[in-house]
Structure formats: C-alpha cells, structure tokens
C-alpha cells in the first residue's frame, strides 16, 4: 500500500501509518464490531477492535511475518466532546479516511492533518470522485469495512468504506462490517 517516506513522516507528531513500507490486506479477513456497546468514546485507542486486531488477528499470523512487523505510531481522531486526538503504538491498525481518500471525507475526522494518503490509493486515482478502488470483498462479495477514524461530531460512530467504495459513519456495534488491517514492515 505504501513504499515512500516523505519528509512529513519525520515529524514526531505525525502518524507513521502511511510512512515507509506499509502492507494492507487486499480484502476483508473477518467481520467484527468496533465496540460491543454503541459508543466511539476513546476512539481507536480504547476500541475493542484495536484489542482484537492486535491480539487475535496478530497472534494468528505466521511467526516469520510477525518477525518483520514493526511497531507503528498511530494517530487517530477523537469523538464528540473531546479536543485531542489519540496516539497509540500498534503492530496492526486500521486505515483512516485521509489514508484512503486523501481528504477529510464527511468533514469529521479530526486527525486528517496528522497523516497522508497511502501511495496505493493515490496512484489508483482515489479521490472524492473515484471510489471504485476502495472496494473490498468478503467471501467474494463487496462488503463495507471499518476505518479507525471516529466520527468527531457524534459519540457512537466510526467511519467505514461502503460496499460501493464510498464513506459512511456507522454505529460502533455493527457486526456486519469487515476488518482489513494494515501494518509496517521494517
């Protein structure tokens, strides 16, 4: 998904999630809720999804792959009523709205200034007019997939990529949304 490390990546207050050699699952590997309850409190940092991705999914990977994955500084947006974005260190993470579309689609991802669009999506011409390259499948059928971006003007939603490749905010306890993590190799 990414090979470049532009100068902005050297800023310690910039997410490393679209810097260096980033690998992203081509399709959805499982469906899972972001949270059991209907809340985006704590954003990606406090989500049950983060725990699931960095434990269940990470631990299921072959040891040879895990040996090459490097810990990544992940900056994620906040929910309504908060002012500061969240910073975590993860082995696996979900993408953000900016990393996919190169913009703050929907207008409520508070962390778009702290990351960049992944090379894969930029080179595929993904922008506000072309969403076809963001479509992912689950069991051979186009399916919505989660992003780590909390919808900052609500207390219940995270952004997703729809089965048509568009963006949409969904309640965190929706179980019909796919998971397609990314990670850095170093």
Work out the average pLDDT over 10-19.
Answer: 96
Checking if the pLDDT of 4 tops 70, the result is: yes
Report how far residue 15's alpha carbon sits from residue 18's, in angstroms, rounded to the nearest whole number.
Answer: 7
Q: Is 122 helix (H, G, I), strand (E, B) or coil?
A: helix
Cα separation, 25 vs 10, whole angstroms? 25
178: nearest Cα among 166, 164, 160? 160
* 3-state SS, residue 33: coil
Residue 128 is predicted with a pLDDT of 56
CA atoms within 13 A on the CB side of 18: 25
- Considering the entire predicted model, what is its pTM? 0.95
């Amino acid at each position: 998904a990414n090979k470049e490390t532009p100068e902005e990546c050297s800023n310690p207050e910039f997410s490393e999630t679209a810097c260096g050699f980033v690998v992203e699952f081509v399709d959805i590997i499982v469906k899972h809720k972001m949270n059991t309850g209907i809340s985006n409190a704590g954003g990606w940092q406090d989500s049950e999804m983060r725990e699931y991705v960095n434990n269940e999914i990470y631990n299921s990977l072959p040891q040879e792959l895990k040996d090459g994955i490097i810990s990544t500084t992940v900056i994620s947006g906040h929910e309504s009523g908060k002012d500061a974005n969240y910073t975590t260190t993860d082995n696996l993470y979900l993408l953000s709205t900016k990393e996919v579309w190169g913009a703050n689609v929907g207008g409520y991802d508070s962390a778009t200034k702290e990351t960049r669009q992944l090379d894969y999506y930029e080179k595929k011409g993904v922008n506000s007019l072309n969403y076809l390259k963001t479509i992912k499948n689950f069991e051979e059928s186009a399916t919505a997939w989660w992003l780590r971006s909390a919808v900052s003007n609500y207390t219940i939603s995270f952004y997703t990529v729809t089965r048509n490749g568009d963006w949409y905010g969904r309640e965190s306890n929706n179980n019909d949304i796919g998971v397609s993590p990314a990670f850095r190799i170093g």
